[in-house]
């Protein structure tokens, strides 16, 4: 196998015109340069230089190998530049998984910040409702995912960065007897029929755990798994429901929204990243923008 470093020594000898000049340029002794050329000729099995007066000139094989050394040198320089761009966040790819209600208030500002600070980074956004994105983060198929998880220990292979606690509000038919109250206790809804608004998973778990702490289990009569549709069912008088503030959006004209005066049901939103992920400027920027957006969310 041909030693690439010796090829670069040959290239310097050919471009400088002598072993002595090459030694000066590379910081070696002329003897060391001659030894490198001799070893390269042994590897290739052919003469690469011929002496002319006080200098040397390449043989046809020497010229051929010098051309390849030039090409390799350019490719190495290009590789170093590309790595520098990637290391500093000028290029690269950032794969983000998110759920719908976090899109407008959290993801959109973070995307805008990424575009401004790292315009050369290719962003891959994917909506994940109702799938669990943590396997994609753990396996390196996604760099970051927005998830709802209880606050506590991190899942295996994943680090959770807390963003905010999104509180739930009560949504009632406008004509409901409790609609006139400015605030409610969760237990006030214990005997009511309920309209479901969550997929089975951590968001629904947050609702059920809050109800259990209030001493009851909600009786779901309709399952919508969509906040806007849930409001429609509530407006039709089919039951009451809980909707997180981030998912409230526009309010149906035939419902009222009431906050809870006691402990508020809430879901914890996190940015999930791989525990062993190497430093990535674009990822740091995206997380910082998410945290700023979360802090500005009422």
The answer, yes or no, to whether the previous bond of 141 is cis (omega within 30 of 0) is: no
List CB contacts of 209: < 8 A, sequence separation 6 or more: none
What are the Cα distances from residue 161, in Å, to 1, 118, 131, 204, 233? 49, 22, 20, 21, 35
**Whether pLDDT at 104 is above 90:** no
**85 vs 182, more confident:** 182
Residues 7 and 72: beta-carbon distance below 8 Å: yes
Q: What percentage of the chain carries pLDDT values higher than 90?
A: 54
Report the pLDDT value the prediction gives residue 225, as an integer from 0 to 100: 76
> How does DSSP classify residue 177?
G
Q: Do 93 and 122 touch, CB atoms closer than 8 A?
A: yes
Residue 89 has pLDDT above 90, yes or no: no
- Mean pLDDT, range 275-295, rounded to an integer: 91
pLDDT of residue 298: 63
Asked which of 35-39, 72-76, 156-160 is least confident by mean pLDDT, the reply is 72-76
> Which of these, 102, 98, 96, lies nearest to 244 by C-alpha position?
102
Tell me if the pTM is above 0.95. no
Whether the pLDDT of residue 147 is over 80: the answer is: yes
């Amino acid at each position: 196998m041909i030693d690439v470093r010796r090829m670069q020594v040959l290239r310097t000898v050919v471009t400088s015109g002598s072993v002595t000049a090459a030694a000066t340029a590379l910081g070696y002794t002329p003897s060391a340069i001659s030894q490198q050329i001799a070893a390269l000729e042994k590897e290739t099995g052919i003469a690469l230089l011929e002496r002319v007066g006080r200098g040397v000139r390449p043989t046809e094989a020497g010229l051929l190998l010098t051309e390849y050394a030039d090409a390799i040198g350019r490719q190495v320089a290009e590789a170093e530049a590309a790595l520098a761009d990637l290391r500093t966040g000028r290029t690269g790819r950032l794969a983000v998984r998110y759920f719908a209600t976090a899109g407008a208030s959290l993801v959109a500002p973070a995307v805008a910040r990424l575009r401004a600070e790292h315009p050369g980074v290719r962003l891959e956004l994917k909506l994940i409702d109702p799938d669990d994105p943590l396997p994609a983060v753990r396996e390196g198929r996604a760099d970051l995912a927005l998830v709802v998880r209880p606050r506590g220990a991190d899942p295996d292979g994943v680090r959770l960065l807390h963003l905010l606690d999104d509180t739930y509000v009560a949504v009632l038919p406008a004509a409901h007897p409790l609609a006139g109250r400015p605030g409610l206790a969760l237990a006030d809804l214990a005997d009511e029929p309920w309209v479901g608004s969550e997929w089975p998973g951590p968001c629904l778990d947050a609702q059920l755990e809050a109800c259990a702490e209030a001493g009851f289990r909600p009786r779901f009569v309709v399952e919508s798994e969509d906040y806007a549709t849930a409001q429609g069912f509530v407006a039709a008088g089919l039951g009451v429901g809980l909707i997180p503030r981030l998912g409230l959006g526009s309010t149906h004209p035939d419902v009222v929204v009431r906050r809870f005066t006691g402990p508020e049901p809430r879901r914890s939103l996190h940015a999930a990243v791989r525990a062993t992920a190497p430093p990535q400027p674009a990822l740091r920027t995206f997380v910082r923008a998410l945290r700023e957006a979360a802090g500005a969310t009422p």
